[in-house]
Structure 1
Amino acid sequence: MPEASASVPTSAQELDELPLPTRLADVKGWFHPADQVLFDWFLSRQLSREEPGDLLELGAYLGKSAIFMGGYLRPGETFTVCDLFDSPAPDDANSKEMNRSYATLTRRAFEANYLSFHEELPVVVQAPSSGITAQVRADSCRFVHIDASHLYEHVHADIAAAQRLLTRDGIVVLDDFRAEHCPGVAAATWGAVATTGLKPLCITATKFYGTWGAYDETRAALGAFLAGRDDMWHGAEEVAGHPMIRISGGKAKLPAQPVSRHASAAARQGAAVQAAAVQPPPSKPAERGGDNRRPKGRGLASFLGRRG
């Protein structure tokens, strides 16, 4: 789902001429504020709990979410990014999708963007995601972000790969699971919930977050976190026996952002101060009347209280 402000290049030459990013917002791509908040929460929680495991992203485009994820990598861990980049697609349907949506994609542009924020590249697998289980060890990843093909058969296989590669309580995130132009992603996502034991923790406008591992504790911690914010609406919906959290946060306050090497000294210093001082905004009493545009749903606190 493109951001209104994102101007995507239309040729390889334009990609080469893009200025090096001084902020994450300069990197072309789609990574909405609510999802940045949630990536930060899940990844930071894993670090604070000293959960072991590597990171994996299937489908990188120009690196926006990969740059963000790279900031949560600990020494000795591996971040693997898998994308076709300039390689030919493995089948006609995928080739048509690549030509329609990502004809300008180059590995060179991804690497330039990533190295603008990090000293080293992740492990880059330039190949179809169908071969990722031969490149990454089983039970080795604590966080997997799937944003590769929109075709059902490919997403179905990517989810199966994530189940094999994730640690016991690892988190999988699926992009475009509810976009009208990606029905295959929706079918594969909810099919996995119905048949594989994938438990839906939460959804945003564009991403699904789930786990095959510990659910109740993670969901309760996420609910408590969201209750402390006044910039993200949330409610609960029973799905396959689980009180999944629905989140709307178009105006969510961004977490600390990765710092670009190309930013000015003042900007780098400001980013460092932001990273040290960032805190969730305090909660405030709900106003009467509410916003009629908010998604309808039961209040999360009362929902969890009733179940408890």
Structure 2
Amino acid sequence: MTAPLAQPEEASNLPVPARLDEVKGWFWPADQILFDWFLSRQNADPSGGGDLLELGAYLGKSAIFLGGYLKEGEEFTVCDLFDSPAEDDNNDDEMRRSYATLTRRAFEANYRAFHDELPTVVQAVTAVLPDRVRPASCRFVHVDASHLYAHVRADVETSRLLSAPGAIVVFDDFRAEHCPGVAAAVWGAVDARRLHVLCITQHKMYATWDHPEPLRTELAVFLAGREDLWHGVEEVAGAPLIRITGRKA
């Protein structure tokens, strides 16, 4: 279900961030640079268009960033359980351990500090998204929800169903030591030759369900001109993969 929006008076006693780095969350400079490059490239394409989607929002740091690239007529959907109970015990246990302070009220207060209008908020498990978002409608999908294999595998498939042609799909925690389920689900899609990796950072994988060229080549040209990002290329699963570190970013 989509829960009612927090009332302004409910959020009035929450701290109001003035800068993105004041919002709690994990969204590193190198990934901000890449989000900006991919989204700006899409926005500059007059023939492009499509909606934005985020699975898992925490307190809104990456959602706030994404919202800055939303164009007129597009929709931005954010799906998160926030403080609602999960539908299975394992997922509910993970939510309580990892996100005890997670609330929709805090998310909305943070988002309103940067944008006049909230995104469409779906407060539910991500499994409902195929029924809430039009198929093949999203140009950018950010997946940062459950870390449990069965749920991530479903989220990977959801990203495929909802991605428009040429869409960028970003997966968080794809190699974090505490998230083996994410690694198994995401790399499984790559190994099946369905998901095409464009690049990886320390925290995120950037991929597409569509043909990776000329996007991959354009990204390499962009990175060659950046002195604040190191990158290298190696072959993985029969295709070139760009590794990026942002130690200088």
Superimposed CA distance per residue, residues 147-203 of structure 1 (whole angstroms, 9 cap, x where no aligned partner): 000001101000100100001110100000010000000000100111251001000
Q: Contact 1:33–1:250 (CA<8 Å) still a contact in 2?
A: no
Residues 1:35 and 2:15 aligned together: no
Higher Rg: 1
What amino acid is aligned across from residue 42 of structure 1 in structure 2?
A: F
Superimposed CA distance per residue, residues 36-72 of structure 1 (whole angstroms, 9 cap, x where no aligned partner): 0000000000011131100000000000000000000
**Partner residue in 1 for 2:182:** 185
Residues 1:46 and 2:42 aligned together: yes
Q: Contact 2:196–2:211 (CA<8 Å) still a contact in 1?
A: no
- For residue 23 of structure 1, the aligned residue among 16, 19, 23 is 19
Q: Contact 1:32–1:250 (CA<8 Å) still a contact in 2?
A: no
**Partner residue in 1 for 2:91:** 94
Q: Contact 1:200–1:239 (CA<8 Å) still a contact in 2?
A: no
Q: Which runs of 5+ in 1 are unaligned?
A: 1-14, 253-308
- For residue 60 of structure 2, the aligned residue among 60, 63, 67 is 63
How far apart, CA to CA, are the structure 2 residues paired with 1:208 and 1:143?
Answer: 13
**Partner residue in 2 for 1:201:** 198
How far apart, CA to CA, are the structure 2 residues paired with 1:68 and 1:214?
Answer: 26
What is the deviation of 1:241? Answer: 1.4
Q: For residues 292-303 of structure 1, what are the structure 2 equivalents within 5 Å?
A: none
Q: Which runs of 5+ in 2 are unaligned?
A: 1-10
**Partner residue in 2 for 1:9:** none
**Partner residue in 2 for 1:241:** 238
What amino acid is aligned across from residue 24 of structure 1 in structure 2?
A: L
> What is the TM-score with the length of structure 1 in the denominator?
0.76
How far apart, CA to CA, are the structure 2 residues paired with 1:230 and 1:250?
Answer: 11
What is the deviation of 1:17? Answer: 5.8
Q: Which moved more, 1:30-39 or 1:233-242?
A: 233-242
> Alignment partner of 1:216: what SS?
coil
Superimposed CA distance per residue, residues 62-115 of structure 1 (whole angstroms, 9 cap, x where no aligned partner): 000000000000000000000001110110110110010011110000000000
Q: Contact 2:175–2:203 (CA<8 Å) still a contact in 1?
A: yes
**Partner residue in 2 for 1:82:** 79
How far apart, CA to CA, are the structure 2 residues paired with 1:93 and 1:139?
Answer: 30
What is the deviation of 1:214? Answer: 2.6
What amino acid is aligned across from residue 233 of structure 1 in structure 2?
A: W
> Alignment partner of 2:214: what SS?
helix
Q: For residues 108-123 of structure 1, what are the structure 2 equivalents within 5 Å?
A: 108-123=105-120
> What is the TM-score with the length of structure 2 in the denominator?
0.93
Q: Contact 2:91–2:146 (CA<8 Å) still a contact in 1?
A: yes
What amino acid is aligned across from residue 222 of structure 1 in structure 2?
A: L
What is the deviation of 1:16? Answer: 8.3
Query: RMSD of aligned C-alpha atoms?
Result: 1.2
What is the deviation of 1:122? Answer: 0.1
